[in-house]
Structure 1
Amino acid sequence: MRKQSKVFKLTFGAMFVALTSIGANMTSIAPFLVVGGVPITLQTFFAVLAGLVLGSRLGAFSMFVYMMLGLVGAPVFAQFKGGIGMILSPTFGFILSFILVAYVAGKIREMNSSLPSYIVAALVAMAINYIFGTNWMYAAYQLWFEAPAEFSYKVAWLWMIVPLPKDILLSILAGVFAYRLEKHGIIIRNIVIEQRT
């Protein structure tokens, strides 16, 4: 039973690695999702969902695997990019934050499993993604990447206005979806237990 549980957990973890990879490259299916040269992706949505569905530890681990998969060269990052050089990319902070995003979302959900808690967990996790990622981007442009003309900290945050409404909406949807999935999971587990007794 314990072995079966581990197999299910690893399977779900691998599934979220795959989903995040797909979410990173939505622009290959819908090119109009590139705004001002910046691809609008579903990575944050799946990172949040990973934490809510898998829990803090497994959710964070699945995002760590996703990041490492990209760094070893698999084209799983936005626009099918990958490789160790991505560490120097201005947007790598967003990828790195997915580990913390999943962990925090899972941790909040583990403390309270009500619907409002799921939604709050998703929104807090999304905010972490924005804060960590935007500050990394600003630092990258200031320290090791050639900054665009008239680039400033304010401009860095103004760039984030474009994907913000989408990410707020998707984070709320992630919270609602994960909550319903958990409730259905509890019902299914109870049915299985009743059938065995």
Structure 2
Amino acid sequence: MKRKLSTIDISLVGMFVALMAIGANITSIAPFMVIGGVPITMQTFFAILAGAILGSRIGAISMCVYAFVCLVGVPVFAKFSGGFTHLFSPTFGFIVSFIFTAYVTGKIIEKKRTLHAYVLASLIGMSINYIFGTNWMYYAYKLWAAAPEGFTYSLAWLWMIVPLPKDIILSIAAAVFAYRFNRTLVSRGYFKSLSKTV
């Protein structure tokens, strides 16, 4: 039986929504970090961290809330944008993928809490983000968005090569940080609700 969200759960969900908004808008101070219409952000890092620290359930909820607050108009997406029209954006698939990224990352770690498991879970979470988001982007361009001239499935993946090294490094960094976090603050009882499987 799933336990109800505690006050600390709700607070941490809010915190990760804010972190996702910050990660999404790094391009606002570095506008050149946009390749082929895809912003190079730190959202993948924070989505992985959400699953690794909050667990599969709360981590996924935090990503659902993040997507929801944008769709209702709060400017938490890249370039401080928001609104229902984002649902039809070719890059919205990456936003949806964050829910699965957080959930799968957390689920793997809940089964085995070794550093190796954290790293493996983070890299799998990142892969889900890339596979789901890139395929969504490709079909969005083909079905309802105005695709760039000469756009192909291979080109969609070629765009993703640019942020890939950064996301691999940040995914591993997220794994190490979450592992150390859970071995210190959580294990000492500062965040008791996080030490339980959620």
How does the TM-score come out when normalised to structure 1?
0.91
Q: 2:94, 2:32 → 1: CA distance?
A: 21
Secondary structure of the corresponding residue to residue 159 of structure 1: helix
| Structure 1 segment 1-197 matched on structure 2, within 5 A | 6-189=6-189
Shift of 1:186: 4.1
Secondary structure of the corresponding residue to residue 19 of structure 2: helix
Q: How many residues align?
A: 187
CA gap of 1:143–1:36, structure 2 versus 1, over 3 A, is: closer
Q: Which has the larger displacement, 179-188 or 149-158?
A: 179-188
How does the TM-score come out when normalised to structure 2?
0.90
Deviations 1:136-162 (A, max 9, x none): 000001100111111110000000001
Q: What is the aligned-residue RMSD (CA, Å)?
A: 1.6
Deviations 1:16-47 (A, max 9, x none): 01000110001123334334553211111100
Percent of aligned positions that are identical: 60
Unpaired runs of 5+ residues, structure 2, are 193-198
Shift of 1:13: 1.2
Deviations 1:64-109 (A, max 9, x none): 0000000001111111121111111000000011111100000000
Shift of 1:187: 4.3
Query: Which has the larger helix fraction?
Result: 1
Q: Which has the larger radius of gyration?
A: 1
- The one of the two structures with greater contact order (alpha-carbon pairs below 8 A, sep at least 6) is 2
Secondary structure of the corresponding residue to residue 189 of structure 1: coil
Unpaired runs of 5+ residues, structure 1, are 193-197
Q: 1:37, 1:51 → 2: CA distance?
A: 27
Q: 2:138, 2:31 → 1: CA distance?
A: 26
